[in-house]
Amino acid sequence: MGSITRKVNLIYLTKFFLNQGFRFKVLPGVLEAISFFFRQRGFDKVTSFNCSNKPLKNRRLLDIITVIYNREDLIHDQVQLLHKNLLDPFSYTVVDNSQIEEKHRLIKKVCQKERVGYIRLPRNPFNTSFFPQGSLSHGLALNWSYFNYLRPRDAKFIGIIDQDIFLVKPSSLISILNEHPLYGRILRIGNTRATDFVKEGDAVKKYIWYLWPGLFFANNNFLRGKNLNFYPGKIRGIHVDTGSMNWHALYSKMKKEEIQPTRHKFIVIGKKDPNKVTDLSDFKSNHVVEYLDNWLHMIASTWEKGIGKEKQEFFRELLNKSK
């Protein structure tokens, strides 16, 4: 009981210091320093295979990574559906940000079977049982992946996708990126009400917005010289999730019209009334999936309480129909 109490107290203290750090503008500098030193632990050939961070011979392909966290079971479907439905030449690499040693072994085994690239990240300081910070862990993993892998490979087009998003219909992304520098799902600050998860179309109405890093595609020429930062953070006093700190390097200097946004459609599973929801995390995790153009997104695949059986069966049924 004492160890549980200590862990709860540590989590509350961590949240307090994170809030105060952003309030007094100290934490952003600390996080940037952590990201910088973490990136110095560069690409390791020993813990990687089927990939290299050297410049690509064929730069005209779409270079895709997905950061995996303890979910080896999602890789096969994601790879197979990309091969079936992505009409562009592409490469695909798994970046393993898992916390559990056994998961590293299983993810590596799946990647070997699927013959895709595999990178095991250095130990993530935000990825421990006594300091669980999922958004910071994800942001740090993306920063490492971009600066140590995607950028030096220098493909003309790059993509970052979440582990639980699947391309279910034929699509060409290069044709989009030849016309627009960025493509993906636009999120707005303040998207916290359950009713927001059942609206269709682009709900971006506020001034501050950013691309969700779970579906982020870019023409690399547009990114040159920009200091990307996939961390979560605070903008105008509001906490914003992973990827939002790219507001400073990218989005604040753009008009939304320059970006090709996805259209989205949320599907509520069962008879849950979103207007009566009190626990938004539970609602998303157990009662909602979404389509983003031709992509099917499970939502909350890394949620610590797990996903309900009803949602798993419903999602698997949708996924099987697309195969």
Q: Is it the case that residue 20 has pLDDT exceeding 60? A: no
% residues pLDDT > 90 (the chain): 50
| pLDDT, averaged across the chain | 82
Q: How confident is the model at residue 13 (pLDDT cuts 50, 70, 90)?
A: very low
| pLDDT of 81 over the 50 cut | yes
- The average pLDDT across 297-318 equals 79
What is the pLDDT confidence band of residue 257, given thresholds at 50, 70 and 90? confident
pLDDT at 116 over 60: yes
Lowest-confidence range among 85-99, 137-151, 198-212? 198-212
Please say if the pLDDT value at position 276 is more than 70.
no
pLDDT at 274: 63
Confidence of residue 38 (pLDDT cuts 50, 70, 90): confident
Give the pLDDT mean for 292-297.
Answer: 96
Separation between Cα atoms, residue 237 and residue 231, nearest integer Å:
16
Question: Which pLDDT score is estimated for 301?
Answer: 79
List CB contacts of 251: < 8 A, sequence separation 6 or more. Answer: 209, 210, 211
Range name among 70-79, 105-114, 194-203 with the lowest pLDDT average: 194-203
- In this model, does residue 14 exceed pLDDT 60? no
Percent over 70 (pLDDT), the chain: 78
DSSP 182-237: EEEEEEETT---GGGGG--S----SS-EEEEEEEEEEEHHHHTT-------EEETT
pLDDT at 299 over 70: yes
| Predicted pLDDT at 200 | 36
Question: Which has more pLDDT, 41 or 27?
Answer: 41
pLDDT of 193 above 70: no
Q: Is 62 in contact with 88 (CB distance < 8 Å)? A: yes
Pairwise pLDDT comparison (242 vs 287), residue with the higher score: 242
Sign of CA pseudo-dihedral 173, 261, 140, 113: negative
Q: What is the pLDDT of residue 112?
A: 97
Find the range with the poorest average confidence among 30-39, 68-77, 97-106, 285-294. Answer: 30-39
HSE, side-chain direction, 13 A CA sphere, residue 45: 3
Instruction: Provide the pLDDT for residue 72.
Output: 94
Please answer whether residues 12 and 88 qualify as being in contact, where contact means their C-beta atoms are separated by less than 8 angstroms. no
Q: Categorize the per-residue pLDDT at 266 as very low, low, confident or very high, splitting at 50, 70 and 90.
A: confident
Confidence of residue 268 (pLDDT cuts 50, 70, 90): confident
